[in-house]
Amino acid sequence: MEKFRVLFQHFQSSSESVMNGICLLLAAVTVKLYSSFDFNCPCLARYNALYGLGLLLTPPLALFLCGLLANRQSVVMVEEWRRPAGHRRKDPGIIRYMCSSVLQRALAAPLVWILLALLDGKCFVCAFSSSVDPEKFLDFANMTPSQVQLFLAKVPCKEDELVRDSPARKAVSRYLRCLSQAIGWSITLLLIIVAFLARCLRPCFDQTVFLQRRYWSNYVDLEQKLFDETCCEHARDFAHRCVLHFFASMQSEMRARGLRRDTAGQDTADRDPEPPEIPKPPDGLDGGGSGKAHLRAVSSREQVDRLLSTWYSSKPPLDLVASPGLWGGGLNHRAPTVAPGS
């Protein structure tokens, strides 16, 4: 239990590790999905290729889109891309960095599916059994071409009566599986080499730029999360004070009604539109300075709407020291990008 919690906390520690966690989870789901999927080659001439290739390519596409959906940073990236500049300059390098990191992580699950399918071999055998060259196999020497085509189409189906226990079928099937596994392992090797080279050679170029971009992309993500949390806190305080205010207004209404009843000397049940006496401020509203501090002087619908619009259309500059009144053009705290080789 303890190690589960430690693992969990490690994954939640930064936005990058959250993304890695989601990526791994999706890869595990892909493996489970592949193993539970019941492969069913139609063993008919034209349908084989469509089915085999469709199964090799459609699920990876769906998994890629799922990877993009499950990753919160893809939405943050699009928001950062489309926002108006406001007081904060937009850096295309950061957007490119976020895009590439999102895409890399989203590609993990589709690649797992493709590699599993190739290493397993069923898809490949189904798709390409009709395209095998019959000259390679001696067993087809005394069959007519149409018979050969029919036979080859049924090779993926072991239990079909035409090809059951046929050495020719086993030969073709073995050949195609061997080819499929070779391609699968080659792709795996290629991907690992590319990843290795990219990782090792990256520090040779643009290291400072890379560090800056990583920092600011992490910052954008955290800032969005914190803004959402602060809005939640604010909404809670707003609601609390609204409800207390409501109770206090009812109280003052009761008091006014009671007073009127006493002065008039009769019980009037109807609402009298006469304004009441000035009620004293109820105690609940002044419950500590902390309550007011939470609301941060934003205490009406128009003010909240204005705050949210301004957050979107005109993000504040990244300068905590300058006073808020100096938000003019040109106040950009970020260091300019270092050109490579300078």
Partner 1 sequence: MDKFRMIFQFLQSNQESFMNGICGIMALASAQMYSAFDFNCPCLPGYNAAYSAGILLAPPLVLFLLGLVMNNNVSMLAEEWKRPRGHRAKDPAVLRYMFCSMAQRALIAPVVWVAVTLLDGKCFLCAFCTAVPVTVLGNGSLAPGLPPPELARLLARVPCPDIYDGDWLLAREVAVRYLRCISQALGWSFVLLTTLLAFVVRSVRPCFTQAAFLKSKYWSHYIDIERKLFDETCTEHAKAFAKVCIQQFFEAMNHDLELGHAHEALARAPASSAAPATTDGAEEEREKLRGITDQGAVNRLLTSWHKCKPPLRLGQEEPLMGNGWAGGGPRPPRKEVATYFSRV
19-48 mask for partner 1 (x: CB under 8 A)?
Answer: ------------------xx-xxxxx--x-
The sign of the torsion formed by the CA atoms of 57, 58, 63, 66 equals: positive
Which position among 190, 198, 239, 322 is part of the footprint of partner 1 (CB under 8 A)?
239
Q: Which of 256, 113, 105, 115 is nearest to 185 (CA)?
A: 115
Please give the C-alpha separations between residue 212 and each of 93, 179, 238, in angstroms, as whole numbers: 10, 45, 38
Residues 130-189 that bind partner 1 (CB under 8 A): 157, 159-161
**Token representation of residue 319:** 């300068």
Q: Can you tell me which residue has the tokens 């707003």?
A: 238
Which position among 141, 165, 266, 271 is part of the footprint of partner 1 (CB under 8 A)?
271
Stretch that binds partner 1, among 13-21, 88-96, 144-152, 239-247 (CB under 8 A): 239-247
Q: What are phi and psi of 284, to 5 degrees?
A: -60, -35
Stretch that binds partner 1, among 18-26, 113-121, 176-184, 230-238 (CB under 8 A): 230-238
Q: Does 270 participate in binding partner 1 (rule CB under 8 A)?
A: no
Q: Does 316 participate in binding partner 1 (rule CB under 8 A)?
A: no
The answer to whether 110 touches 61, Cβ cutoff 8 Å, is yes
CB of 239 to partner 1, least distance (A): 4
Q: Does 287 participate in binding partner 1 (rule CB under 8 A)?
A: no
The answer to whether 176 touches 124, Cβ cutoff 8 Å, is yes
Residues 49-108 that bind partner 1 (CB under 8 A): 50-51, 54-55, 58-59, 61-62, 65-66, 68-69, 74-75, 78-79, 82-83
Burial (CB < 10 A; 0-12, 13-18, 19+), residue 240, is: middle
Could you say which DSSP state residue 342 is in? -
Q: Does 268 participate in binding partner 1 (rule CB under 8 A)?
A: no
76 vs 168 by CB, closer to partner 1: 76
